[in-house]
Amino acid sequence: MEVNTLREVLLIDIYDHHIAQKFINRSGLAHAIAVAYHAFHLAIEREVDPDIATKAGFLHDIGHFTWYKNGKWDYDLYKQNDIHAIKGAERAHKLLIRLGENPVKAKEIALAILFHTDSFLPSNEIVRTPLQQVVKSADEKDEEEGGMHHYRTIDKERARKSLNRLDKMIEETMKKST
Ligand SMILES: [Fe+2]
């Protein structure tokens, strides 16, 4: 097996952790993977760290809570009370540190998750770093009307293959730049 020296944690390590299994499925695994891929391509285009960008993309919605009322998703409840960016930043950070992520990267990923949406902010005047903008744009690229992007499905086998493939793409890019 090839020894990985460039990255402490792989996307597939994150995927395999039970915390990710529980919370990423909640907001849509297919969406999480699609956003990770968009984040990768945007990161290359805008010259930001693809490892950090893809991890933030993959984990950006990990803070979602299920706002159900009488067995149905209640969009008004969600709009009023949602703090998924805040919760996601913290949850992703905890998960990454547990997996042995470099703490500098873990903080950058957490901040990119915190600022990936304006929905909880009192105004949208925040100035994002290029990395934070990459994650926000990656999410917007995969958005579908009525929040349908959260309901697309992907089977486990395909999910694993997609993440392994993306891990390899990140590794290759990082090798080239060292
Ligand atoms: Fe999203």
pLDDT recorded at residue 1: 45
DSSP string for 108-128: HHHHHHHTS-STTSS-S-PPP
For residue 86, being part of any structural domain is answered with yes
The verdict on residue 1 lying in a domain is no
Number of domains in the chain: 1
User: Does residue 5 fall inside a structural domain?
Assistant: no
In angstroms, what is the span from residue 1 Cα to ligand 1's centroid?
34
Is 4 a domain residue?
A: no
106 or 153, higher pLDDT: 106
Q: What pLDDT score was predicted for residue 5? A: 63
The answer as to whether 2 is a domain residue is no
Looking at per-residue pLDDT, the higher value among 79 and 32 belongs to 32
Counting Cα atoms < 13 Å in the Cβ hemisphere of 20 gives: 22
User: Within a domain: residue 152?
Assistant: yes
Beta strands in the chain (DSSP E): 68-69, 72-73
- What region does 102 belong to: left with phi over 0, alpha with psi -120 to 50, or beta? beta
Read off the CATH number of the domain in which 150 is found.
Answer: 1.10.3210
Residue 107 is assigned to a structural domain of this protein = yes
Domain annotation covers residue 3? no
What lies within 8 Å, CB to CB, of 34 at 6+ separation is 142, 149, 152
Q: Which domain holds residue 45?
A: 11-176
pLDDT exceeds 50 at position 43: yes
Cα of 178 from ligand 1 centre, angstroms: 31
User: Considering the entire predicted model, what is its pTM?
Assistant: 0.92
CA of 137 to the centre of ligand 1 (A): 10
What spacing in Å lies between the alpha carbon of 171 and ligand 1's midpoint? 24
Alpha carbon of 34 to ligand 1 centroid (Å): 10
